[in-house]
């Protein structure tokens, strides 16, 4: 799985109750294809055992700085790591790292390391808020370390709720992915993505919509953020969870989505229209619920604004624009027509009737049609992999401008 395949990730675990979450993080990294070397501090071993990480990663766990036969492990492990993540990072560990101490294996590895480092603080909310901790955090950022802000939520038993809780393993996993990603043309770029369906009201309780889950757009937004972009996601009502790192704006109708695109598009380097906005809306919306006994025999329909067409004037010169065409009849013909009519750089075409593709599934089979006539047929693959294939082509277009 990109970007984890074949990468070496050193997972440092220090002595906090949140260390139980680190076991699941180790599992996520290993399942994604990374080789995970775990380093437990002495205090971490009081909370969770080395055998847990050995079972999850299939690799030995490292603990002591001066263990017999391992005197240079801090140099070797630092050299071999493509990235280091310390989760949880206690207040004590942050203080020692900020002052360059090397009194245990994990701290010594940081001093010998030249790879990206992600620190994930976890502690009591008062400890996190203390001026000395915040001073240490600022110093660590000055040194080039990346820190994930702690979540706000339930702390250790009897300590109530507040900022200091370690983020969930899936969140940390996404940040590690961003750390491992090779630097490309999306770094520092602004990417605008739309996802999900829209709803067009019939009356206050009913609407016209479609089966879109938003999974494809969410996968694109997540992959773009992982590649270093600033991501705005305009999301219709959808079942997919929103991606880590993206700024999400929720909308309801096609007109709402069009208005949001018009507002955000002028700042975008890339726009990817992965949403499936409703193609029809009632010509007249009832102000109260239509009773079954008064249901009309027919309903007059109108067309909502076409988002790609009505927002064309908001595109700045050089913006890369990608559309989607979900068809049931002659999909490539429909895709080519839409590519030209809506002045797109790339269109992603798929057949809604094909098993494993289209709405509400985790896989897709698509064809990429480019403005220059290029045509690329991709096999059935996960939507995460489709997202990366699309962004690979977007980066090629950006490099040519």
- Active site positions, annotated: 210
Buried b (16+ CB within 10 A) or exposed e, 182-206: eebbbeebbbbbbbbbbbbebeeee
Sequence-separated (6 or more) residues with CB below 8 Å from residue 215: 239, 240, 360, 361, 362, 383
Cα distances (angstroms) measured from residue 105 to each of 17, 113, 239: 20, 12, 44
Q: Compute the distance between CA of residue 129 and CA of residue 158 in angstroms, rounded to an integer.
A: 18
Q: Phi/psi zone of residue 245: left (φ > 0), alpha (ψ -120 to 50 degrees), beta?
A: left
Q: Compute the distance between CA of residue 362 and CA of residue 359 in angstroms, rounded to an integer.
A: 9
Beta strands 281-282 and 363-364 are: unpaired
Annotate 209-256 with DSSP letters as a single string.
-----SHHHHHHHHHHHHTT-EEEEEE-S-SSPPPTT-EEEE--SHHH
Instruction: Give 319's DSSP letter.
Output: -
Query: How many residues are present in the chain?
Result: 401
Give the pair of three-digit tokens for residue 228: 């270093």
Q: Compute the distance between CA of residue 89 and CA of residue 123 in angstroms, rounded to an integer.
A: 8
Beta strands 190-195 and 270-273 are: parallel
Rg (CA), the chain: 25
């Amino acid at each position: 799985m990109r970007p984890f395949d074949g990468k070496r990730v050193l997972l440092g675990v220090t002595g906090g109750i949140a260390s139980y979450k680190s076991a699941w993080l180790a599992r996520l990294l290993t399942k994604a294809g990374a080789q995970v070397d775990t380093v437990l501090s002495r205090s971490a071993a009081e909370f969770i055992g080395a055998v847990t990480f050995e079972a999850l990663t299939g690799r030995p766990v490292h603990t002591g700085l001066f263990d017999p036969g391992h005197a240079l492990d801090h140099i070797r492990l630092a050299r071999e790591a493509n990235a280091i993540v310390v989760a949880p990072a206690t207040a004590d560990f942050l203080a020692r790292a900020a002052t360059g101490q090397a009194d245990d294996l994990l701290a010594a590895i940081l001093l010998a390391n030249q790879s990206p480092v992600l620190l994930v603080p976890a502690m009591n909310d008062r400890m996190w808020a203390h001026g000395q901790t915040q001073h240490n955090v600022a110093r660590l950022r000055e040194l080039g370390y990346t820190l994930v802000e702690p979540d706000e939520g339930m702390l250790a038993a009897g300590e109530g709720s507040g900022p200091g809780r370690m983020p969930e393993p899936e969140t940390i996993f996404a940040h590690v992915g961003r750390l491992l990603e090779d630097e490309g043309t999306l770094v520092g770029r602004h990417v605008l993505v739309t996802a999900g369906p829209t709803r067009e009201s019939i009356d206050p309780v009913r609407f016209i919509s479609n089966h879109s889950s938003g999974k494809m757009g969410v996968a694109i937004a997540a992959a773009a953020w992982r590649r270093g972009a600033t991501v705005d996601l305009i999301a219709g009502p959808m079942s997919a969870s929103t991606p880590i790192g993206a700024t999400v704006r929720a909308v309801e109708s096609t007109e709402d989505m069009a208005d949001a695109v018009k507002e955000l598009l002028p700042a975008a380097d890339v726009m990817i229209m992965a949403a499936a906005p409703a193609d029809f809306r009632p010509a007249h919306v009832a102000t109260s619920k239509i009773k079954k006994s008064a249901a009309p025999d027919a309903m007059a329909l109108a067309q909502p604004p076409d988002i790609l067409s009505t927002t064309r004037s908001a595109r700045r010169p050089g913006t890369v624009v990608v559309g989607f065409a979900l068809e049931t009849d002659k999909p490539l013909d429909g895709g080519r027509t839409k590519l030209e009519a809506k002045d797109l750089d790339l269109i992603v075409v798929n057949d809604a009737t094909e098993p494993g593709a289209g709405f509400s599934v985790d896989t897709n089979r698509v064809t990429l049609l480019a403005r220059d006539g290029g045509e690329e047929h991709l096999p059935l693959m996960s939507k995460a992999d489709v997202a990366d294939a699309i962004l690979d082509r977007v980066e090629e277009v950006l490099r040519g401008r």
